[in-house]
Amino acid sequence: MGVAIEKLRDSDKPQVMTLLKQVNMHYVPSPEMPEISWENYAVIRMDGKVVGFCGYKILSDCEAKTELMAVDKACRGMGLGVKLQTYRMEQMARRGIKTLITNCDRPESIAWYIKHFGYEKVGKLKKEHEFGVPDIDCWTTLQVDLEKWAEDFKKVAADE
């Protein structure tokens, strides 16, 4: 099974939108997601097929926010989400980003960000439009110290 993470190409966008429908995050533009900043998006391909993607938006010289991420339902449980999140965090760390913010509504995803990437809960935001899990009415705002994560990640990688 060949797996590769690559910068998103324009030809990948229809597949990305199909993946967004699986997680009810395809309402773009909407009050929740006015636009997608495609310039910082990547896809993960398995045997040449897009099976996941991730993106982020730079907010300032030292702060960024994750945007969207999804893995095809048929490919979950294979560690592809960890690969995508690690990839985008490495990209932002290389750019000098110190603080990374993520908004999430799925309790299992919130726990995943905390467990695997060291995020902390820092607040809540009321949803403005149906997006993500329809019966959850707010986003949990998560934050991670990207410099600390990058140092810890390098230590773990060196030990492997």
pLDDT-derived band at 1, boundaries 50, 70, 90? low
What percent of the chain has pLDDT above 90? 88
**Residue 160 in this model has a pLDDT that exceeds 80:** no
pLDDT confidence of residue 37: 87
pLDDT in tens, 143-153: 999 999 998 87
**Residue 87 in this model has a pLDDT that exceeds 90:** yes
Decide which of 158 and 128 is more confident.
Answer: 128
pLDDT-derived band at 2, boundaries 50, 70, 90? confident
**What's the structural domain count of the chain?**
1
Arithmetic mean of pLDDT, 74-83: 94
Which element (helix H / strand E) includes 76? none
pLDDT confidence of residue 63: 98
Which of 68-72, 83-87, 123-127, 155-159 shows the lowest per-residue confidence on average (mean pLDDT)? Answer: 155-159
- Residue 37: which CATH number? 3.40.630.30
Arithmetic mean of pLDDT, 72-95: 95
Q: Is 36 helix (H, G, I), strand (E, B) or coil?
A: coil
pLDDT in tens, 16-60: 999 999 999 999 999 999 999 899 999 999 988 999 999 999 999
Count Cβ neighbours within 10 Å for each residue of 36-60 and write b for 16 or more, e otherwise.
beeebbbbbbbeeebbbbbbbebee
Structural domain of 116: 3-159
State the Cα–Cα distance between residues 135 and 4, nearest whole angstrom. Answer: 34
Q: Which two tokens stand for residue 15?
A: 């597949």
